[in-house]
Amino acid sequence: MGAWMIRAGRGGAYAADWLARGVIGIGWDFGGADIAAMGREQIREAYASAHPSESKQRVAANVGQVYRFAHSMAQGSTVVMYDPAERLYHMGEVSGPCVAADEPDAVTYTRHVRWGRTAPRDALAPESRNSLGGIQTIFSVSDAVMADLESASGGRPAYEAATPEDGAASDEESLAATYDNGIELIKDRVGQLDWEDMERLVAGLLRAMGYCARVMPKGPDGGRDVVASPDALGLESPRIVAEVKHRKGAMGAPAVRSFIGGLRAGDRGLYVSTGGFTKEARYEADRANVPVRLLDLDAFVRHYVEVYDRADDDTRSILPLTRIWWPA
């Protein structure tokens, strides 16, 4: 049956929803047609008819992806999905046929999955990370990579070889996948920083956003690792008070509640945790009576990429990036 990797939308946008609902999905639109009952040539004709302006190469690539989802991913086969917010690979078993989505929007066809084990990205060998960063939406996972995922999850490798599939990804798909892979590599690099550089990086992010930001001296600061304001004297509002936690574990509700309790009138809270946050912690932030924003590693890196061109030399020296040009 083999094992398959599927992307949960750009930046893993659908990962949490798919886990909660026990599904996977694709977004290619065939007007609700039963693609599970169609052969590859029928799928190609339907797709080409709906997208007459697309090149033969793009049609072939997308039809290949659709065929894999509807036919090659047999019931009982293993599926792997990455959640960038948690930095976890989720493994499950395909448990249902390809069907049209009940409320088609971004996802038009779904399949049921019984989700089970998880494997942290940081526990995988670099070769496995690179392999799982393929540019296609759906692609086969080798025995060696599955064995690494199983080892990282504490399970045992017991998978048949996946049949290789041909077909290049479209330019749009390749660009999105390349961007997401780059985000993951940047997150790997952030994980190697020490806590002092992480605080400096948060201050640099805020400066690149137009604030005057500084790292506070160490001591009983009540969670004030970085303070930023629109003016250099720190007299104008809104003043942002940031706490930075650079560790593996997720921050819980008590930590966020304590941080919120230490904010003064007129403060805006920013809590950066590279280990993420529990659901209860996010609830505490949502119900706070002052504006509070939580940034996990994925959100922090995406903000950093967006403002990198405006970052100062000191900030860039902590986490330098290289721009990759792509044909328009």
Q: What is the pLDDT of residues 115-143, one digit of tens each?
A: 999 999 989 998 888 888 876 788 889 99
| Beta carbons of 207 and 311 less than 8 angstroms apart | yes
**Percentage of the chain lying above the pLDDT 90 cut:** 51
Q: Distance between CA atoms of 59 and 53, rounded to whole angstroms?
A: 10
- For domain 195-318, give the fold: Trna Endonuclease; Chain: A, domain 1 (3.40.1350)
The stretch 189-209 carries a mean pLDDT of: 92
Q: Mean per-residue pLDDT for 58-82?
A: 90
What pLDDT score does 56 carry? 79
Q: How confident is the model at residue 91 (pLDDT cuts 50, 70, 90)?
A: very high
Report the run of H or E that residue 211 belongs to, with start and end.
Answer: none
Task: Report which of residues 178 and 167 the model is more confident about.
Answer: 178
The pLDDT assigned to 31 comes to 76
Q: What is the rounded distance in angstroms from the CA atom of residue 148 to the CA atom of residue 227? A: 42
Choose the most confident range, by mean pLDDT, from 32-41, 110-119, 169-178, 318-327: 110-119
Instruction: Quickly state the pLDDT bin for 62 (edges 50, 70, 90).
Output: confident
Q: What is the mean pLDDT of the chain?
A: 86
Q: Are 285 and 262 in contact (CB under 8 A)?
A: no
Q: In angstroms, rounded to a whole number, what is the distance separating the alpha carbons of residues 131 and 164?
A: 13
Residue 103 has pLDDT above 80, yes or no: no
pLDDT of the residue at 258: 93
Judge contact between 146 and 127, C-beta under 8 A: no
- The pLDDT tens digits of the residues spanning 214-267 come to 999 876 655 689 999 988 877 777 789 999 999 888 999 999 999 999 988 889
Query: Whole-model pTM?
Result: 0.68
Is residue 173 over pLDDT 80? Answer: no
The pLDDT value recorded for residue 270 is 96
CA distance 194 to 218: 15
- With 80 as the cut, is the pLDDT of residue 83 above it? yes
Per DSSP, helices labelled H in 192-221 are: 195-208
Where in the chain are all domains bearing CATH 3.40.1350.10? Answer: 195-318
Q: What is the pLDDT of residue 221?
A: 53
- pLDDT confidence of residue 163: 39
> Could you report the per-residue pLDDT of 290-303, keeping only the tens digit for each?
999 999 999 999 99
pLDDT at 12: 87
Split at pLDDT 50, 70, 90, the class of 324 is: confident
User: What pLDDT was estimated at residue 1?
Assistant: 63
Q: Are the CB atoms for 36 and 43 separated by under 8 Å?
A: no
Query: Given this model, what pLDDT does residue 268 score?
Result: 93
pLDDT at 234 (0 to 100): 72
pLDDT over threshold 80, residue 175: no
pLDDT higher than 90, residue 53: no
* 3-state secondary structure (DSSP) of residue 292: strand
- Within its chain, how far is the Cα of 77 from the centroid? 24
Percent of the chain topping pLDDT 70 = 89
